[in-house]
Chains A and B, each alone.
Chain A
Amino acid sequence: SAVISQKPSRDICQRGTSLTIQCQVDSQVTMMFWYRQQPGQSLTLIATANQGSEATYESGFVIDKFPISRPNLTFSTLTVSNMSPEDSSIYLCSVGGDLSNYGYTFGSGTRLTVV
């Protein structure tokens, strides 16, 4: 299975600022996803990061707030913009490839606290 390196592992940020989270995979993958896990909650899909085109966002998430880049098949970034305390969450990158391997590898997450 793919190995994911997610950076930073945690950060404390001031409200109104932005943070960019990186997701690096050790092999080329077809699909990359970004999830949010709010305190004590389950995971919610933010968007699918598409290589070479704009990300596909889920209901309730917009590009202005969560811009995503996917310059190649092994790397993606998620930016949390104009942060507020409500953005304090764990953000996780997930990757998938062929059907038998799809969707089962997650990064270790970025624990974000906005103060």
Chain B
Amino acid sequence: AQSVTQLGSHVSVSEGALVLLRCNYSSSVPPYLFWYVQYPNQGLQLLLKYTTGATLVKGINGFEAEFKKSETSFHLTKPSAHMSDAAEYFCAVTQNTGGFKTIFGAGTRLFVKA
């Protein structure tokens, strides 16, 4: 069965500092991996996705993530945090096991300090 683990329910960084949000997954077949962002009282917005090909994927708002099969990880990074990055971030994994299904991690709330 597939699962997603996000390390740290809360992460706090200073403005301008590196953002690192961790995501590990388990999947019996090659997964599709996603990061979503949710701002307060809003729906989910796709940040980036990995399906096939290049393992380093770039997304919106300066975020990127690297798929590391050997580590079963898909960590999200941004070189320099901005106040507007404060939000909830969800890692998700999808696999085709006779029907596509997406499982979400518990989420990480990012706080950005001035």
List residues of chain A with CB under 8 Å of any chain B CB: 31, 33, 41-45, 48, 56, 92, 94, 96, 99-100, 102-109, 111
Q: Which of A45, A96, A104 is the most central at the interface, judged by chain B CB atoms within 10 Å of its CB?
A: A104
Q: How many A-B residue pairs have CB under 8 A?
A: 51
Q: Which of B34, B43, B51, B107 is the most central at the interface, judged by chain A CB atoms within 10 Å of its CB?
A: B43
Cβ contacts under 8 Å, B43 to chain A = 92, 106-109
Q: How far is the CA of A50 from the CA of B43 in the complex (A)?
A: 23
CB within 8 A of A48: which of B41, B99, B107? B99
Contact present for A103 and B100 (CB under 8 Å): yes
Report the count of interface residues on B (CB-CB < 8 A).
Answer: 23
Q: How far is the CA of A105 from the CA of B46 in the complex (A)?
A: 7
CB<8 Å pairs between A and B, sample of 7: A31-B100, A43-B44, A43-B104, A48-B101, A103-B92, A103-B94, A104-B34
Cβ contacts under 8 Å, A42 to chain B = 90, 104-107
Cβ contacts under 8 Å, A99 to chain B = 32, 51
Contact present for A103 and B51 (CB under 8 Å): no
Contact present for B42 and A102 (CB under 8 Å): no
